[in-house]
Structure 1
Amino acid sequence: MIVAAILPCYRVSRQIAAVIRAIGPEFAQIVVVDDCCPESSGEVAAALGDPRVTVVKRAVNGGVGAAMVDGYRAALALGADILVKIDGDGQMAPADAARLIRPLAEGEADYAKGNRFRDFKALAAMPPARLFGNSVLSFLVKAASGYWTVMDPTNGFTAIRRETLEALMLERLDSGYFFEIDLLCRLYLVEAVVVDIALPARYGDEPSSLSVARVARQFPAKLARAFLRRLLLRYFVHDFNMASIYLLLAVPMLLFGGITGVFEWVRSVESGQVRSAGTVMLVAMPVILGLQLLLQSIAIDIAAVPKRFVKNR
């Protein structure tokens, strides 16, 4: 079994050499993707003389997602069976990669990712606002991706099987920092088994390039598109089950109850007259029934998380 490390590199010339030296012999290939780095990180990697290193240079800076797609393709061409993403900035300990590789090598999963939220020391040191933001983002990604059992969705320490990667359309993956989340959302559509691996957080003096402002500006619309795409394909194209029926009934009921309720409330305020009991029930019943049906569909969705590994999918 050939294991390859993929290292997307941008402004990591000071860290890349130490990262490559820390990559153990279990890795037969190391693909370094120089994402048009102004510090020539790719040349620094090539100068180490490690025969496992293959440098892929991009002509233009495309972002971590674009770099990873190029790296995945290069590793597949080299015959890799398991492909591990290791950032070039030193925030990941290559020695921990064995914990990601194990469930894939033993046929227990298609994709493994790190989870820093199980590191209690890191959680205690994390500012409350950041912890809250990460928790909210994790919940939104659970709903968008369908993987209700995973946390820390932006964790970039991941491993994926060759067959699983080949089932995806790599050219459609997000080219920027939404890459890990987009990959997770698309894995659900091929029914990949995903596992969370508890890994400790590791931070140095390097600044984070993922800003809160960028997340707030770019992620909501992308999460909404991923959520709607998953619902459409999972419950109305690839399959049609009770969750599909519940959704078809719940959405019109909630819309009718909500719109009617606002309309009647405005009329009541303008006229000064209290609405009749019948009018209140006309609003309340569709909302109550719609919420119940929506909760039932969510329960079915949670139970439908892919759990069965399919060899040579």
Structure 2
Amino acid sequence: MYRNKRIAVVVPAYNEETQVARVIDTMPDIVDMIVITNDCSRDRTSEVIREHPGYQSGRVTLLEHGVNQGVGGAIATGYKWARDAEYDIAVVMAGDGQMDPADLPAILDPVVDDEADYTKGNRLVTGEAFKKIPKIRFFGNSALSLFTKIASGYWHVADSQTGYTAINLTALQAIDWDRMYKRYGQPNDLLVKLNVAGMRVVDVPIEPVYNVGEKSGIKVRKVIFTIGSLLVRLFFWRLKEKYIIRNFHPLVFFYAFGFFSIGVSCLMFIRLLSLWIDSGTVPEITFLSWLFSFSLGFNSLFFAMWFDYEENKHLNPPLRTRDVRGRRTPR
């Protein structure tokens, strides 16, 4: 236990026969149960787990997928197990050893102190992040984090793709895990669902860990477009669910008018270029129409985002600083 809270760590594993034993061996004593979801691995992952003393002592639970469901599906299976077993907090740590166990207390503390319902590691704020994280992944992660802010309503959240997280039982019970996105976009999907459910989310700085023998299956260029399209759908779903169905807010009018005006400005810009090419001069009326519609659309979207920021500020509280003994200090 950790400060009178029962802790379960969910470990999604796919072809991790060389890494999973290390993950179990380095798991801190504060963890009560290690729940490993074998996502239909094609290697000896299951055998390695079953042969480990941790499994034989009962500290490790192995869940097996008959069909590969992706990392999001593996996490959801572990979450459901922790929810049904009524663990106070469920943490996610990867099966490839990329998450430092030394960061676990920092991830847990805001949830234990009831400052947050969900905490997530943030690798982008440390001074070593740019040096340690592969450059294409660093910039891809940064771009997705920006779009996730807009889609989720958690404007102070960064490093949206990190999997090092902790969630309390209240939030576990509030989410329908069977309808959760099952691939690499699961963290983004979860943030949007948590926002609609009114859950508090806090970022916790952690050190990035790479080159420990892990093998990444992420194709960054493909993932960016896949998750990007997912974020667009989630953005409009959140607007509908949160600001129309559950509690109406006028920001939907600003977003609607903003998108409409930007669309009109795009058409006007195409017409402007066409007339410019044909005549060799810039038509003043068309130029002013384009400038007016673009300015109107930009301002409407800006105000809509500002309203969204203010509406969700209480769900994204700042992280309290702690002294060397882990005690809270004033903000």
Does 1:289 pair with 2:293? Answer: no
TM-score (norm: length of structure 1): 0.90
Give the partner amino acid of 1:44.
V
Does 1:233 pair with 2:237? Answer: no
In 1, Cα distance between the equivalents of 2:68 and 2:272?
54
Report SS of the residue matched to 1:84. strand
Q: How does 1:236-255 map to 2 (within 5 A)?
A: 236-255=244-263
Judge which range, 235-244 or 21-30, deviates more: 235-244
Aligned residues: 308
| CA apart distance, 1:194 | 0.7
CA distance 1:44–1:281, change in 2 (3 Å) = same
In 2, Cα distance between the equivalents of 1:18 and 1:128?
27
Please name the residue that 1:206 is paired with. 214
In 2, Cα distance between the equivalents of 1:57 and 1:296?
48
| CA apart distance, 1:241 | 2.7
Does 1:220 pair with 2:228? Answer: yes
CA distance 1:6–1:290, change in 2 (3 Å) = same
User: Which one of 78, 81, 85 corresponds to residue 78 of structure 1?
Assistant: 85
Q: Once the two structures are superposed, what CA deviation does each residue of 1:127-162 show, in whole Å capped at 9, x if it has no partner?
A: 544433222121112112221111111111111011
TM-score (norm: length of structure 2): 0.85
| CA apart distance, 1:285 | 2.1
Q: Once the two structures are superposed, what CA deviation does each residue of 1:76-95 show, in whole Å capped at 9, x if it has no partner?
A: 22221100011111111223
In 1, Cα distance between the equivalents of 2:278 and 2:215?
55
Please name the residue that 1:21 is paired with. 25
User: Which one of 36, 46, 49 corresponds to residue 45 of structure 1?
Assistant: 49
Q: Once the two structures are superposed, what CA deviation does each residue of 1:156-183 show, in whole Å capped at 9, x if it has no partner?
A: 1111011112111111111111111211
Please name the residue that 1:263 is paired with. 271
Report SS of the residue matched to 2:42. coil
In 2, Cα distance between the equivalents of 1:133 and 1:65?
19
Please name the residue that 2:171 is paired with. 164
Report SS of the residue matched to 2:120. strand
Sequence identity of aligned pairs in percent?
A: 31
User: Which runs of 5 or more residues in structure 2 are unaligned?
Assistant: 317-331
Judge which range, 42-51 or 134-143, deviates more: 42-51
Report SS of the residue matched to 2:270. helix
Q: How does 1:139-150 map to 2 (within 5 A)?
A: 139-150=146-157
Please name the residue that 1:113 is paired with. 120
Please name the residue that 2:197 is paired with. 190
User: RMSD value over aligned CA atoms?
Assistant: 2.1
Judge which range, 213-222 or 85-94, deviates more: 213-222
CA distance 1:37–1:236, change in 2 (3 Å) = same
In 2, Cα distance between the equivalents of 1:125 and 1:97?
20
Q: Once the two structures are superposed, what CA deviation does each residue of 1:176-205 show, in whole Å capped at 9, x if it has no partner?
A: 111112111211111211111111111213
